[in-house]
Structure 1
Amino acid sequence: MTSSTTDLAVCRPRTAGTEATDRSARDRWAPLLVFLLPAAAAGACVVPGIGHRQLWRDEHCTWWASSIRYTDLGLLVEHIDVVFAPFYAAMHIWIALVGSSPTALRLPEALAMAASAGLLGLLGRQLFTPRAGMLAGLLFAVVPTVTRYGQEARPYAFAMLFSLLATLLLLRALERPTLKIWTFYTLAIALTGLSHLVALSVVAAHAAVVVRARRGGHHFVYWAFGCAMVMGTSVLVPTMVKGSGQAGQIAWNDATVQDLARYPTDLFGSWFAGTVVMGLGVVGLLMTRHKAVMPAVWAVLPPAVTFLTSDRLHLFLPRYLLFTVPAWLLLAVAGADLCAERLIRVCRARTAGWVLVTGAVAGFAFQVFPAVATARQDLLGEPDYAGAGRIVRTGERPGDGIVFNGELGERKAMAYELRGGARPKDVLMRLTPQQIGWYAASECGEPGTCLADGRRLWLVSTAKGDPRFRMRKSTAAVLAARYTVVRTQRLHNVTVQLLERRSS
């Protein structure tokens, strides 16, 4: 009886109600899957080795600004980096809770990159198809610069995260307009600007979507979008005003045609990745047309504007424009998805599209894997401050002093490497960075007096060749007259010398 009943159940044709139930279950699980798989893939690329690469100059700035007292941070941003003040304030809390190891400093950015991959999957699903969303999210995970900046204690991963979140919320608000969703969208816009002001240019792409929605009969959308823009950007006005007065700190960045030619490689982290994604992006733009308007504006307008204004604003830097990577991927997968659909019709195989997704991601990952591995390594031009710190830590004695020579943030870097314990006295420092509101200190005007005491000194220098090259002449003269070099150790782009006082 049981067997025959089971057989009848198996052979019974599926009803419309059963199919509707199955379809409803798939609809509930599909968004979660499209989010989780890319997020997990991005985490698998970003998290391994997150603490192996030593911090570089900008990350030392993050540690320094996020470790000093809030009053000192307020003085610092009065002079420099006011646009990063929200990030530093948030990292201040994080460091107090978790610590300041390289892994601890970079973990928030790694999590932000993983979440960005998931949000990109949802955005691709919303704009095109679930397959397109999955492909975009998985390709994002293996982009070399995603690993590079997911392992960097700077705010670019958060700018990526919040620009994606704001875009997704806008599409949801246009689809199902409620006060709750528009409020969340307003908050996401504010967070995007607080992460990095350049990322706020994503609202140009949002405006393009709103214009299309208005033409489609959504008459209220201008008012809702306008209110969200006013309220979301109002909190950024003080930062914008103050930041405009600090533009001189990046005045060195005058973009050239060569910078523009290198832009695809610098943005994606490898020549292959940049060429393939941007090339497919152009194909996707031509094939999808109206659906591609929003990602096209998002991908093209920010770099175009920052390049054309680089002689005044100096904002054309690939890391500032990292938030445009998802837009290029959306354009690329849009074209790839249409090609897959056509192949499915020809082959009459429903699984062919997912096979193509798997093959595309696997092939892309295979080609860019060397660049992903390189992104986890120490930056080529950065000094080996970690090695210098180990040398000083191993050989220091009570009463030792330390002096610095160079222009690569030696004092700040060594403060990080020697943190958490006793360290040699900075004998030439007259005013601390906290006192002058800067990352550098003010040095003693009379080195003969400042170097009057102490039998041993450590010299940490990033000068090429002679460790005292371009050192202030008065300081170099005192060191030469009073101290003898007893040990010299040369590391990558940094030299550590131990000096002992000459006998009278």
Structure 2
Amino acid sequence: MTAYTPPVDERAVPESAEGTRTGRRRSADAAGRGSAWLVLLLPSLVAAACVLPGLGGRQLWRDEHATWWASTLSWHDLGRLIDHIDVVFTPYYAAMHLWIAVAGDSPAMLRLPGALAMAVSAGLVGLLGRRMFAVRTGLLAGLLFAVVPAITRYGQEARPYAFATMFALLATLLLLRALDKPSLLGWTLYGLAIAGTGFSHLVAMSVLAGHLWLVWLARRRGDRIAHYAFTAAALLGLSITFPMVAQGTGQSGQIAWNVTTADDLIQFPGTLFGSWVTGGTVMALGVLGLLAAGRYSVLLAAWAVLPPVLTFVTANQLHLFLPRYLLFTIPAWTLLVAAALTRLTGRLDPQARRGTGIKVLSGVLVTAAAAGYVLAAWPAVGDAKKDLAAEPDYRGAANTIVAGERSGDGMVFNGVLSERRAMAYELRDRQAPKDVLMEWTPQQNGSYGATECDRPARCLKGVDRLWLVSTVADGRHPLTGKDAKTAAVLGKEFKATRTVRLNHVVVQVLERK
């Protein structure tokens, strides 16, 4: 017979024992806070070290020129613009309008908000991995994310994709916390994070598919209100973004140029991650990670795989299958890779107390895998900071014009690569030649494009010297594709006296005959 043991009266516990327990709790809390700061700060610092150097070195490209143009308009003109195009970027343009008023519009300053958002995203990946799996998993996932070449590429871009990644991560982290410790504040913050995700980029809201799995798991564990709270919070976020979404559906034709083919799907790993080596490695290990992610495998699979599949299947209707639109899926892939590697070391050493030999071997394997990944990815990280090979050298064109400009010169454009807007940016702080053919400005049109005069001879009257900026294909006449009436007047009344060929752009001096 087992001897009776009377219940312990907590009040009778010696003060020294109670103090010991309190000290242990405090030590555990301090250790927990320390690990959280570690997985937040170290990946953030590594990402910042990749993204911030050379932030203003690469030339802006046409999408970034659109950001500058829209964000420097007056509020009235911005309202006219989004009434016709790009309404889904309204919050980003409005925020950048305020930022430019404070920080200026140099390439580095235009890109700095996105760079900081990408650095924060790396830390959020670490926190998410720590909460889902373990400290070492979160730390590894955050560091792997930080050195993905595409993270540097789009961290150095004045577009909202870094913010979409950050808010998708923040929403997922807030959902996990709300499910663990439900509160009105927690669920409200989650709903606002969903709104932030939608305001950054609508495609990123597909992360909600994985969130549904977490809510289903919570209900299965006996949480009777999780699905109600989730529905209310999700509706809060969706209702905030609904007016923008509703208007944006009428502007979907602006991306109809994006025609997707099977080759785009084949090239997807390389274009998403910034290099084929990085993308292929991460995706291959990520598939193994699905076997190691346990109850989070469905969340991460839905997050990583579902958005590309849905956008590819609907590409002919919605035209949304673009790697930069899907940048927010990269965290899910790095979390899967980290889960696979840390599970591998756990299987090698299921009981850490058996000895240090297996522990050392596990650490060496993880370190070697991470080092090999960094070595493979690093050249592409450097390439991500270079000028885009397919983009015109507008900076060089601007320097050519400034070096040879004379008083009274005019400027004309030809091509379909936003030449007028790009040159407006590159010559924004200089004395630019007059845009002699522009009759209606983009602001008057409520668009990005100007309307050229339909009587070019009249508009060119009194101008004896022109700078032609053309982006027609190399080897063709710089006026190829120009409005026939305008091309005829230019060909009849002017002759080319100087031609400068730069990367995908030609600058010609045209003098009146």
Normalising by structure 1, report the TM-score: 0.94
Query: Which of 393, 406, 411 is residue 402 of structure 2 equivalent to?
Result: 393
SS in 1 for 2:53: coil
1:20 is displaced (CA, Å) by 5.6
Which residue of structure 1 lines up, in the alignment, with residue 345 of structure 2? Answer: 340
Query: Which of 477, 488, 498 is residue 477 of structure 1 equivalent to?
Result: 488
Determine whether 1:359 maps to 2:368: yes
Determine whether 1:423 maps to 2:432: yes
Aligned counterparts, 1:264-413, within 5 A: 264-345=269-350, 348-349=355-356, 350=359, 353-413=362-422
Which residue of structure 2 lines up, in the alignment, with residue 209 of structure 1? Answer: 214
SS in 2 for 1:458: strand
Which residue of structure 1 lines up, in the alignment, with residue 162 of structure 2? Answer: 157
Counterparts of 1:379 and 1:271 in 2: how far apart (Å)? 17
Which residue of structure 2 lines up, in the alignment, with residue 44 of structure 1? Answer: 49
Which residue of structure 1 lines up, in the alignment, with residue 205 of structure 2? Answer: 200
Please, which runs of 5 or more residues in structure 1 have no aligned partner? Answer: 1-14
Query: Which of 467, 478, 488 is residue 478 of structure 2 equivalent to?
Result: 467
1:226 is displaced (CA, Å) by 0.6
**What do residues 89-134 of structure 1 show as CA deviations (whole Å, max 9, x unaligned)?**
1101111111111101001110000000000000000000100000
**Which AA in structure 2 matches 1:496?**
V
Query: Which of 25, 32, 55 is residue 27 of structure 1 equivalent to?
Result: 32
Closer, same or farther in 2 for the Cα pair 1:121/1:478, shift >3 Å?
A: same
**Which stretch shows the higher mean deviation, 113-122 or 339-348?**
339-348
Determine whether 1:499 maps to 2:510: yes
SS in 2 for 1:171: helix
Counterparts of 2:137 and 2:274 in 1: how far apart (Å)? 23
Determine whether 1:486 maps to 2:497: yes
Counterparts of 2:70 and 2:286 in 1: how far apart (Å)? 39
Query: Which of 171, 174, 182 is residue 176 of structure 2 equivalent to?
Result: 171
1:250 is displaced (CA, Å) by 1.1
Counterparts of 1:188 and 1:66 in 2: how far apart (Å)? 23
**Which stretch shows the higher mean deviation, 121-130 or 254-263?**
254-263
Which residue of structure 2 lines up, in the alignment, with residue 456 of structure 1? Answer: 465
| Paired residue total | 488
1:254 is displaced (CA, Å) by 2.8
SS in 2 for 1:467: coil
**What do residues 45-93 of structure 1 show as CA deviations (whole Å, max 9, x unaligned)?**
1111111110111000000000111111111111111111111111011
Aligned counterparts, 1:110-189, within 5 A: 110-189=115-194
Which residue of structure 2 lines up, in the alignment, with residue 3 of structure 1? Answer: none
Counterparts of 1:178 and 1:354 in 2: how far apart (Å)? 39
Measured on the aligned residues, the alpha-carbon RMSD in Å equals 1.6
**Which AA in structure 2 matches 1:439?**
Y
Counterparts of 2:206 and 2:419 in 1: how far apart (Å)? 35
1:397 is displaced (CA, Å) by 2.1
Counterparts of 2:395 and 2:285 in 1: how far apart (Å)? 42
